[in-house]
Amino acid sequence: MVERTRELMAHLPYLRRYARALTGSPARGDTLVTRALEQVLDDGAGLPEGGIALRLALYARLNALADEGQGGPGGIERGSAHPVEAALNTLDESDRRLYLLVNLEDVTLADAADTLGLAPERAVERLNHSREVVRNHLTAVILIVEDDAIIAFDLAETVRGMGHIVCGNATTMDEALALAAEHTPTLALMDIRLAEGDNGIEVARELRRQRFLPVIFVTAFPDELAKRGLEHLGPVIPKPFTRDQIEQAITRAVFTPAPEEAKVAAPPAT
């Protein structure tokens, strides 16, 4: 009994990680793991003695308990605001579990397929489909608002090099609002001083009034937001910038859950 408990405890970190991802909730995940371990300790007959075979069997046990609603009230929680979890939650449940086992738990595709009762050929097909779905959900559509053609080109090349989409480049407020209305971007790279005397801060405020759009300011006037008490409009990258700075800022924006203010209309700019 002591040896069996020691074997199970060796797998506990993996089981908790998978169960939390499976249920979408740390509390439900831990409840699921507790019930699985209780079952195994009460009657572990038929389970492998140890190693990866035991862990795979425990993953299967967690799946079965989740299907029975044993993770607590509400079952599997699908309302996560995190972009990666939101993308995974668009998948069929079997596909989601396959993705988690292979990409989160580092289980071989053959073992994951066996755990989920899938034919190997079917597992390959479904995993490729799932990866494409997740990749598409995490591809940002980016609006560039910059009146310097060379800088705009550099920003566009950086965005495309990351696998994201540039929906257009605007040099004025009217152009920016028109492109935003036409393409519904998920992120904007915004200069502050624009053509025709326009100001990127006002563009950002108007976009927030119409709908929430995350903005990264790329500007030679990095203190202007702070002077006006508008740091909440978005992070600032001062010019001259490096591509690494732009890539890091875009990655943070793409993988950051939308704040509560994105769910309600923003008040008119004053």
For helices 109-116 and 51-67, give the axis angle rounded to 10 degrees: 40
| Residue indicated by tokens 């790329």 | 218
The CA–CA distances, whole Å, from 8 to 32, 39, 59, 134, 241 equal 14, 12, 12, 32, 51
| Residue indicated by tokens 């071989």 | 108
Return contacts of 231-239, CB within 8 angstroms, 24+ apart: 233/201, 233/204, 233/205, 233/208, 234/190, 234/204, 239/151
pLDDT computed for residue 118 by the predictor:
96
pLDDT computed for residue 74 by the predictor:
47
- Give SS3 for 136: helix
Domains in the chain with CATH codes: 1-77 (1.20.140.160), 79-138 (1.10.10.10), 141-263 (3.40.50.2300)
In one letter, which amino acid is 230? L
- Give SS3 for 140: coil
- Residue spans of the chain under pLDDT 50: 73-75, 263-270
Using only C-alpha atoms, the chain has a radius of gyration, in whole angstroms, of: 24
pLDDT computed for residue 1 by the predictor:
63
pLDDT computed for residue 266 by the predictor:
43
pLDDT computed for residue 268 by the predictor:
41
137 Ramachandran zone, left/alpha/beta (phi>0; psi -120 to 50): alpha
Reported residue count of the chain is 270
pLDDT computed for residue 80 by the predictor:
60
Task: Specify whether the CB–CB gap between 184 and 195 falls below 8 A.
Answer: no
**β partners of residue 238:** 219
